[in-house]
Amino acid sequence: MLQKVGKRFLVRARFTWRSLFDDQFLLVTNTLTGGSLLAMGDVVQQSWEIHKEQSKVLDWKRIGYTFVMGCSTGPLLHHWYGRLDSAYAGRAMNTVVKKVLADQLIISPIIGIWYFIGMGLMEGDTLAEGWKDFKGKFWEYYKADCCVWPPVQMFNFYYVSPKYRVMYINVISLGWDVFLSYLKHRVSQMTATPL
């Protein structure tokens, strides 16, 4: 009896999971996983901050803001990968390299700008303050980005089916999301130590 129930559950779960990647639900799946995993990355970073400074508590507003930012990048990546696959069809190595270069030179800086300015606006900064924050942290962001994402994207564009690309990126980016949260919210040494 118990085996039949377990087997039925696994069969239902399998078909439910598959339906999340059908064309009609794929955009929603990509959007919600992007938001959830970016928020989870922020929770990990805040937990580390709390570990270092016991007086801190989880900032639920900040977690909500990161969820919104992650949800906003889901559709962007969903459509970006579709366009990239249309522009550069196939899995030949030169095609994969073109996709990685386009991803690194075009969408990566856009997502960085989107994240820093968007988070800044939600946290009460002006557009100019958000832009200044991004400019001040851009090279640190982009150098790390160039170390992490090209190999990840080589694998993505060569092996991963197009409908799973954003999910793959969302899962891999959990560690990246911790770094983004750290970079955005770290207190600079100049402002942290009183003179």
Q: Is pLDDT above 90 for 119?
A: yes
Burial of 130 (0-12, 13-18, 19+ CB in 10 A): buried
19-28, 32-41, 67-76, 95-104: which has the minimum mean pLDDT? 19-28
Distance, in Å, from the CA atom of 67 to the CA atom of 32, rounded to the nearest integer, reads 9
Q: Where are the domains of the chain?
A: 13-185
Task: Give me the mean pLDDT over the 135-144 stretch.
Answer: 94
Q: Is pLDDT above 70 for 195?
A: no
Supply the pLDDT for residue 137. 94
Q: In the structure, what pLDDT confidence band is assigned to residue 131 with cuts at 50, 70 and 90?
A: very high
Distance, in Å, from the CA atom of 139 to the CA atom of 137, rounded to the nearest integer, reads 6
Q: In the structure, what pLDDT confidence band is assigned to residue 158 with cuts at 50, 70 and 90?
A: very high
Supply the pLDDT for residue 107. 94
Q: Is pLDDT above 70 for 20?
A: no
| Dihedrals phi, psi of 87, to nearest 5 degrees | -70, -40
Q: Is pLDDT above 80 for 22?
A: no
Supply the pLDDT for residue 30. 84
Q: In the structure, what pLDDT confidence band is assigned to residue 23 with cuts at 50, 70 and 90?
A: low
Task: Give me the mean pLDDT over the 88-93 stretch.
Answer: 92
pTM as predicted: 0.79
Q: Is pLDDT above 90 for 55?
A: no
% of the chain exceeding 70 in pLDDT? 83
